[in-house]
């Protein structure tokens, strides 16, 4: 037996971390891993040892932390501490410490797995046939690690050498960045970690390079202001040049900044250069550096910069060393940044990965979900209808057997009644005509005989017979009676056509139709006759066939004189239908349930079961929608409701690259703020890290001037990422984000150009009407479950238990908050407010309080004076008018150029705006509060479309009458502003009453129900009437 001691200073192979309730499994694994050096608290701690010191010490001396994960882990405080320490050590240097999760449960609940473990390559007891198999795998791992150490020693590749190689890559990458890129990609995130606080930029009158100002606190919690400027100083710089380069940053350090709120002094200043200064350079500039140091100005050279990055921002350091192109570095950095946090005064632009919760896919198929739970009953459908005779029978039918004719008539009758909505469903239908087959045929033939209303120009027709200049007219004259010919020859077209001539001409032409084969007897070679008609004319064997063929020949010969028989007359046939929906629906549900059973909970490289379940669910949903909306037949016994955000089909996507294996072209759908953009960004970053060519195209950046231009031209002008050589996009993954935010419908452009790309992913709101849905494979993002939302809170607050509990308490106390914070964007806004001491209770308050905070409250709460214009009411009025101006434009605008922005400013703020500096107010909104974002030079937007929609909703709530609101109902672009309008009003009873007065308005009933759900003080009776209308419409046609 091994000596029970904790004195293992040379190190351990394994450190076993476990929950108290998993003690037995830990003991078993300990024995199985011997004779390796294994640390287990129950085996290695001695009586009297201080376990709070010995456990971390033993773990730090271990090569591998083996984490036993079970349902008990979530509540095991000390094990979670050991997990956090292990992950931190592994991140610092994975060659010195590894983390291997071992899942004891057969199907672990991944939402409760501690943060950081899901990304680790893990072992599962069930898959390894027990702990014996787990131990064998762990022994193999430690042997490989020992081999690597030997090989590394043999090759003289020390850790120091690897660090030097990494540092050189990092330094090369930094040196390729220009000043702006270095500031945005390196300095800003570094300052955010080292000096957390609000960030501004100021310009010096004698220097073009902007200076970053960070308002933070020092170690004793006092206000501390840091100034940073980037200068491309080469190592050959002399003392005079260094002093000149540092003049601006020294000036703000010694003389302060002249702001509208007064002169502000910088406590500390950095002058940053990307170039490496050797010791000899520093000695040469020693006097200058001492002068800077006395003024508290620090020169940060390239070598110091990479040390700071490695220690404080390993993710950024890894990214910079991995990508050689500044263009790609900038793209990855932009995609990974969470800009909303900056506006709340947090550490600048948090990295998405620090709080990202794995996305889940789930069709929003509420009727299908109710059906697979056996909560919907479907009845057969019996109806009769009047079908136009010419819709039932065609000329070609008369040349077929009776059975074929009857089958064709039934299919056409069903098609006429359903307008094709049942195509693809194969529902059995009984069809019965109210009259005999012979009667229907006789009536059809009767329609081929000429009547006065069959002539478009009877006089013109008579003149053609008189002239006999075409072969058909010449032949017809040979078949007409002498008395009729005499009347024809006497008619010159100058007098009215009346009397015996029109009457007798119709009578004799009908005689010719049933007695003479015009096609065989007339010289028709020069007459334009359809190929099908020529073929039928050769097959005539019955009088009925002869009549319809002759009539068709006359229509071809006299297109300007005769109407087509198919459009003449309005005779109808009564047809009885019986749709066997019940039995067919039963089979459909069986197939759907089987597809769902076979659908995995996690997306892997085997995507076929997911595709199958997805398409089958969509088919079921579409079918039920048809029954409810077209046939009015479905009875809801128990409408589907999401319990804690869960749906029967929910597929997690831990590895975004598997999305591309679902299909070459994907359409990602979901409500506003559900994470479509975040998932698109995570996928883009993942693909770029695999050295794939990625092009990221945010639709709101596209100019309306490109309407009609090909997709590749739009990509060239507006997409971010690697530009392909010679326009070859065959290896490029194109991600088009926010299809609904483009200034015009891009659907046709995408359909005509997507084949030029390796893969295409398009995101859009589900409410947006696009033709891509019928062409592309559609996936939909699921809302947060309770566990996922709690995990998001845990990651966002990063260990702040009080804030995390406050967030959970709000979701349990307020149903509106519980419902809407399942949407990631709203959850993010709420946690941002909580961190600033603001507590919302409903969705509209979240957006409204966000603006209150950003426009002035943040500064007032912290006593910071940075704003040029401290008038939040005027700013709110301006941005509200701006949001409405953009949203009410014809081309669904998100962006606005500076001159146009100034026009909106003057119109909305009047004389107050005339007395106030537009430039300073804009600086406040862009830099001071982050309410507006400068997308590119001189072009501004609200960032996320939902922020624009909220302010547009505020505008119409203040300025629109009920009648004006009603006019917005038929435009999907106004759907979300109308929901915000309802939430702001609180009571939309008057609007419901107005809409329900006119039944034509009830086409917008679902929009009204959505609005009512946001307006809690609306009359219960009005809401119930609206709900009843949706559920109890009369059976029959629409």
CATH superfamily membership of 12-154: Toll/interleukin-1 receptor homology (TIR) domain (3.40.50.10140)
pLDDT at 807: 92
CA distance 811 to 820: 9
Q: How many CB atoms lie within 10 A of CB 233?
A: 22
CA distance 457 to 562: 7
pLDDT at 736: 95
Helices (H) and strands (E) in the chain, counts: 47, 30
If pLDDT is split at 50, 70 and 90, which confidence band does 460 have? Answer: very high
* Cα Rg of the chain (Å, integer): 38
Residue 988, pLDDT above cutoff 50: yes
pLDDT in tens, 85-98: 888 788 777 778 99
| H/E segment holding residue 778 | strand 777-780
Helix 872-887 to helix 945-959 angle (10° resolution) is 100
Residue 527, pLDDT above cutoff 60: yes
Residue 42, pLDDT above cutoff 70: yes
Q: Would you say 134 and 128 are in contact if contact means Cβ atoms under 8 Å apart? A: yes
Residue 750, pLDDT above cutoff 90: yes
CATH architecture designation of domain 661-779: 3-Layer(aba) Sandwich (3.40)
Q: Would you say 577 and 381 are in contact if contact means Cβ atoms under 8 Å apart? A: yes
CA distance 870 to 925: 11
pLDDT at 208: 56
pLDDT in tens, 724-742: 666 789 899 999 998 988 8
Percent of the chain with pLDDT over 70: 88
Percent of the chain with pLDDT over 90: 28
* Segment 246-250 mean pLDDT: 85
If pLDDT is split at 50, 70 and 90, which confidence band does 320 have? Answer: confident
Residue 49, pLDDT above cutoff 50: yes
pLDDT at 5: 45
Q: Which strands sit side by side in the sheet containing 896-897, from one edge to the other? A: 896-897, 939-941, 933-936
Q: What is the Cβ-side half-sphere exposure of residue 136, based on CA atoms within 13 angstroms?
A: 9
Q: Would you say 877 and 909 are in contact if contact means Cβ atoms under 8 Å apart? A: yes
CA distance 182 to 835: 30
**DSSP letter for each residue of 688-750:** HHTT-EEEEEEGGGS-GGGTTS-HHHHHHHH-EEPPPGGG--TTEEEEEE-GGGSSS--HHHH
pLDDT at 99: 93
pLDDT at 172: 79
Q: Which of the residue ranges 665-669, 945-949, 967-971 has the most confident prediction, judged by mean pLDDT?
A: 665-669
Question: CB under 8 Å, gap of 24 or more: what pairs does 805-810 form?
Answer: 806/834, 806/839, 807/831, 807/834, 810/834, 810/839, 810/840, 810/841
| H/E segment holding residue 225 | strand 223-230
Residue 342, pLDDT above cutoff 90: no
Q: Which of the residue ranges 136-145, 157-166, 432-441 has the most confident prediction, judged by mean pLDDT?
A: 432-441
State the pTM of this model. 0.61
Q: Enumerate residues 6+ apart whose C-beta is below 8 A from 1012.
A: 982, 988, 992, 1018, 1022, 1023, 1026
How far is CA 183 from its chain centroid? 31
Residue 330, pLDDT above cutoff 50: yes
pLDDT at 594: 94
pLDDT at 673: 80
Strands 207-217 and 223-230: antiparallel
Q: Enumerate residues 6+ apart whose C-beta is below 8 A from 899.
A: none
Residue 393, pLDDT above cutoff 70: yes
| H/E segment holding residue 177 | none
CATH architecture designation of domain 165-325: 3-Layer(aba) Sandwich (3.40)
Q: How many residues can be counted in the chain?
A: 1038
Could you give the residue ranges of the DSSP H alpha helices within 916-974? 918-923, 945-959, 962-967
- The widest CA-to-CA distance across the chain, in whole angstroms, is 134
Q: Which residue has the higher pLDDT, 932 or 410?
A: 410
Q: Which residue has the higher pLDDT, 973 or 276?
A: 973
pLDDT at 1032: 55
SS3 content of the chain, % helix, strand, coil (to 5): 55, 15, 30
pLDDT in tens, 586-615: 999 999 999 999 998 888 888 899 999 988
pLDDT in tens, 638-672: 555 555 446 778 888 888 889 999 999 999 988 77
Which of helix, strand or coil describes residue 295?
coil
pLDDT at 937: 73
Residue 865, pLDDT above cutoff 60: no
* Segment 1002-1024 mean pLDDT: 84
* Segment 204-215 mean pLDDT: 69
pLDDT at 1035: 35
pLDDT at 644: 47
pLDDT at 367: 81
Residue 344, pLDDT above cutoff 60: no
Q: Which residue has the higher pLDDT, 1008 or 236?
A: 1008
Residue with the two structure tokens 């999305």? 659
Distances 371 to 59, 596, 913 between C-alpha atoms, Å: 53, 13, 59
pLDDT in tens, 548-574: 999 999 998 999 999 887 654 568 899
Distances 896 to 869, 893, 935 between C-alpha atoms, Å: 22, 8, 10
Q: Which residue has the higher pLDDT, 640 or 103?
A: 103
pLDDT at 625: 83
First to last CA, the chain: 84
Strand blocks (E) in 822-938: 896-897, 933-936
Residue 35, preceding bond cis, omega within 30 degrees?
Answer: yes
pLDDT at 338: 61
Q: Which of the residue ranges 3-7, 103-107, 381-385 has the most confident prediction, judged by mean pLDDT?
A: 381-385
Burial 759-777 (b: 16+ CB within 10 A, else e): bbbbbbbbebebebeeebe
Residue 516, pLDDT above cutoff 70: yes
Residue 752, pLDDT above cutoff 90: yes
Phi then psi dihedrals of residue 357, to 5 deg: -105, 130
Q: Which residue has the higher pLDDT, 309 or 885?
A: 885
Strands 693-698 and 268-272: unpaired
Residue 40, pLDDT above cutoff 90: yes
Residue 205, pLDDT above cutoff 80: no
Q: Would you say 954 and 984 are in contact if contact means Cβ atoms under 8 Å apart? A: yes
Residue 512, pLDDT above cutoff 90: yes
Q: Would you say 648 and 368 are in contact if contact means Cβ atoms under 8 Å apart? A: no
**Burial tier of 5 (Cβ tally within 10 Å: 0-12, 13-18, 19+):** exposed
Which of helix, strand or coil describes residue 301?
coil
């Amino acid at each position: 037996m091994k000596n029970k001691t904790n004195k293992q200073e040379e190190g351990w192979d394994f450190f076993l971390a476990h929950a108290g309730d998993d003690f037995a499994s830990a003991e078993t694994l300990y024995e199985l891993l011997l004779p390796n050096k294994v640390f287990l608290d129950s085996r290695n701690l001695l009586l009297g040892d201080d376990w709070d010191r010995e456990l971390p010490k033993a773990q730090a001396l271990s090569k591998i932390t083996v984490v036993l994960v079970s349902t008990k882990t979530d509540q095991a405080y000390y094990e979670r501490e050991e997990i956090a320490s292990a992950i931190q050590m592994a991140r610092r240097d994975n060659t010195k410490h590894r983390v291997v999760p071992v899942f004891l449960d057969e199907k672990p609940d991944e939402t409760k797995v501690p943060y950081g473990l899901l990304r680790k390559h893990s072992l599962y007891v069930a898959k390894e046939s027990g702990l014996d198999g787990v131990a064998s795998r762990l022994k193999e791992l430690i042997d490989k690690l020992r081999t690597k150490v030997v090989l590394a020693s043999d090759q003289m590749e020390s850790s120091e050498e690897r660090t030097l190689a990494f540092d050189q890559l990092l330094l090369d990458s930094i040196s390729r960045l220009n000043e702006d890129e270095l500031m945005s990609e390196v300095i800003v995130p570094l300052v955010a970690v080292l000096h957390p606080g609000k960030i501004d930029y100021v310009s010096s009158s004698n220097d073009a390079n902007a200076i970053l100002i960070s308002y933070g606190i020092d170690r004793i919690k006092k206000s501390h202001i840091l100034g940073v400027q980037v200068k491309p100083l080469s190592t050959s710089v002399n003392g005079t040049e260094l002093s000149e380069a540092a003049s601006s940053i020294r000036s703000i350090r010694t003389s302060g900044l002249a702001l509208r709120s007064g002169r502000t002094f910088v406590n500390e200043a950095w002058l940053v250069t990307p170039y490496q200064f050797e010791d000899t350079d520093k000695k040469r500039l020693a006097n200058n550096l001492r002068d800077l140091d006395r003024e508290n100005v620090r020169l940060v050279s390239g070598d110091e910069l990479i040390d700071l990055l490695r220690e404080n921002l390993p993710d950024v350091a890894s990214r910079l060393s991995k990508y050689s192109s500044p263009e790609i570095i900038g793209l990855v950095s932009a995609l990974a940044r969470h800009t909303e946090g900056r506006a709340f005064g947090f550490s600048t632009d948090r990295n998405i990965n620090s709080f990202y919760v794995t996305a889940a896919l789930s069709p929003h198929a509420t009727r299908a979900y109710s059906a697979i739970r056996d909560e919907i009953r479907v009845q057969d459908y019996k109806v009769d209808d009047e079908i136009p005779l010419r819709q039932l029978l065609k000329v070609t039918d008369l040349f077929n057997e009776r059975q074929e004719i009857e089958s064709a008539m039934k299919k056409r009758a069903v098609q006429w009644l359903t307008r094709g909505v049942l195509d693809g469903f194969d529902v059995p239908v009984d069809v019965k005509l109210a009259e005999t087959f012979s009667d229907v045929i006789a009536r059809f033939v009767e329609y081929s005989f000429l009547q006065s209303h069959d002539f478009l120009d009877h006089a013109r027709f008579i003149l053609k017979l008189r002239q006999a200049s075409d072969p058909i007219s010449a032949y017809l004259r040979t078949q007409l009676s002498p008395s009729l010919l005499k009347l024809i020859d006497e008619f010159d077209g100058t007098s009215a056509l009346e009397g015996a001539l029109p009457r007798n001409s119709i009578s004799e032409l009908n005689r010719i139709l049933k007695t003479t084969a015009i096609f065989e007897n007339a010289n028709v070679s020069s007459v334009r006759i359809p190929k099908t008609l020529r073929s039928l004319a050769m097959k005539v064997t019955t009088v009925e066939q002869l009549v319809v063929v002759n009539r068709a020949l006359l229509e071809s010969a006299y297109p300007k004189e005769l109407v087509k028989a198919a459009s003449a007359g309005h005779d109808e046939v009564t047809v009885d239908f019986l749709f066997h929906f019940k039995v067919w629906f039963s089979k459909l549900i069986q197939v759907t349930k089987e597809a769902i059973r076979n659908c995995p909970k996690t997306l892997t490289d085997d995507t076929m079961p997911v595709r199958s379940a997805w398409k089958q669910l969509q088919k079921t949903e579409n079918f039920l929608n048809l029954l409810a909306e077209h046939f009015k037949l479905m009875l809801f016994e128990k409408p589907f409701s999401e319990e804690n955000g869960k749906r029967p089909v929910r597929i997690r996507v831990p590895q975004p690259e598997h999305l591309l294996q679902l299909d070459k072209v994907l359409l990602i759908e979901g409500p506003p703020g559900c994470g479509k953009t975040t998932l698109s960004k995570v996928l883009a970053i993942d693909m770029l890290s695999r050295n794939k060519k990625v092009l990221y195209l945010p639709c709101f950046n596209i100019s309306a001037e490109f309407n009609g231009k090909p997709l590749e031209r739009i990509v060239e002008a507006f997409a971010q990422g690697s530009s392909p050589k010679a326009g070859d996009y065959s290896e490029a993954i194109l991600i088009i984000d926010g299809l609904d935010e483009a200034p015009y419908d891009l659907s046709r452009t995408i359909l005509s150009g997507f084949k030029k790309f390796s893969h295409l992913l398009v995101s859009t709101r589900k409410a947006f009407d696009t033709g891509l849905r019928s062409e592309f494979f559609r996936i939909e993002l699921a809302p947060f479950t309770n566990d996922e939302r709690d995990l998001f809170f845990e990651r966002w607050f990063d260990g702040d238990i009080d804030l995390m509990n406050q967030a959970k308490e709000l979701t349990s106390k307020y149903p509106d908050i519980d419902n809407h914070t399942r949407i990631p964007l709203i959850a993010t806004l709420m946690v941002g407010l909580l961190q600033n001491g603001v507590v919302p209770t409903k969705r509209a308050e979240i957006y409204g309080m966000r603006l209150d905070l950003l426009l002035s409250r943040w500064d007032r709460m912290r006593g910071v004076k940075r704003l040029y214009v401290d008038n939040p009411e005027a700013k709110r009025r301006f941005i509200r008018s701006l949001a409405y101006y953009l949203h009410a434009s014809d081309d669904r605008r998100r962006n606005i150029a500076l001159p146009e922005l100034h026009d909106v400013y003057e119109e909305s703020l009047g004389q107050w705006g005339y007395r106030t500096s537009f430039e300073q107010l804009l600086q406040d909104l862009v830099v001071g509060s982050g309410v507006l974002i400068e997308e590119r030079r001189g072009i501004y937007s609200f960032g996320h479309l939902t922020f624009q929609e909220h302010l547009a909703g505020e505008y119409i709530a203040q300025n629109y009458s009920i009648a004006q609101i009603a006019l917005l109902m038929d435009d999907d672009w106004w759907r979300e502003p109308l929901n915000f309008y309802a939430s702001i009003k609180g009571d939309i009873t008057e609007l419901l009453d107005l809409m329900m007065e006119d039944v034509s308005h009830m086409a917008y009933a679902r929009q009204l129900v959505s609005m009512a759900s946001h307006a809690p003080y609306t009359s219960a009776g009005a809401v119930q009437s609206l709900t009843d209308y949706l559920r109890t419409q009369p059976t029959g046609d629409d």
